[in-house]
C-alpha cells in the first residue's frame, strides 16, 4: 500500500503595494497579518512599460527602504516588481494564484460615488477575481 503525503504549501500573504498613503496602509495591515499568521509576506509592485517614469513603480532606494522595514518587522518576505504591460489587478491576482496565497491585502482610495461609477477600480477587480480572501484597507485621513 502506498501512502500519499501531501506537500506542505508555504503560506503567504500577498500585498499589492504602491508608494502612497493607501499602499502604506495596505503594507501595515499585511505585515500585521503575516506576523499574526506566521506566514511569508509577498509584496507585488507593478509598473507600466516605462517604469522609470511611473510614480507607482519603486526605484532602488525605495526597494531598499522597504527591505529594511520588512526585515525590522521580522516577517519573512519577498518583493516582486513586474513590468509586463499588464495592469496591477491582473498582476496581484496572478501572483496570489501562482503562489497559493492565503490572503491578499490591498489599499483603497476614498472616491465619490460618481468616481466609482465612471472609473474602473483595480481594487474592485482584485476583490472580485481573487480566489482567496481579500482584506481591503483605507488610509487614515
Question: What does the pLDDT look like over 131-141, one tens digit per residue?
Answer: 999 999 998 87
- Domain 12-138 is classified in which CATH homologous superfamily? HUPs (3.40.50.620)
Q: What pLDDT was estimated at residue 105?
A: 98
Residues contacting residue 92 through CB under 8 Å, at least 6 positions apart: 14, 16, 44, 46, 104, 106, 126, 130
pTM for the whole structure: 0.85
Q: Is residue 76 a contact partner of residue 113, using CB atoms and an 8 Å limit?
A: no
Look at residue 36 in the predicted model and tell me its pLDDT: 95
Amino acid at each position: 500500500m502506498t501512502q500519499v503525503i501531501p506537500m506542505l504549501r508555504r503560506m503567504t500573504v500577498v500585498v499589492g503595494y504602491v508608494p502612497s498613503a493607501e499602499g502604506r496602509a495596505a503594507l501595515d495591515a499585511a505585515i500585521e497579518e503575516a506576523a499574526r499568521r506566521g506566514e511569508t509576506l509577498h509584496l507585488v509592485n507593478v509598473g507600466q512599460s516605462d517604469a522609470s517614469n511611473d510614480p507607482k513603480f519603486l526605484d532602488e532606494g525605495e526597494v531598499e527602504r522597504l527591505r529594511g522595514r520588512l526585515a525590522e518587522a521580522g516577517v519573512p518576505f519577498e518583493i516582486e516588481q513586474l513590468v509586463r504591460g499588464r495592469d496591477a489587478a491582473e498582476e496581484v491576482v496572478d501572483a496570489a494564484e501562482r503562489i497559493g496565497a492565503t490572503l491578499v491585502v490591498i489599499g483603497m482610495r476614498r472616491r465619490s460615488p460618481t468616481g466609482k461609477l465612471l472609473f474602473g477600480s483595480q481594487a474592485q477587480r482584485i476583490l472580485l477575481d481573487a480566489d482567496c480572501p481579500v482584506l481591503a484597507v483605507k488610509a487614515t485621513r
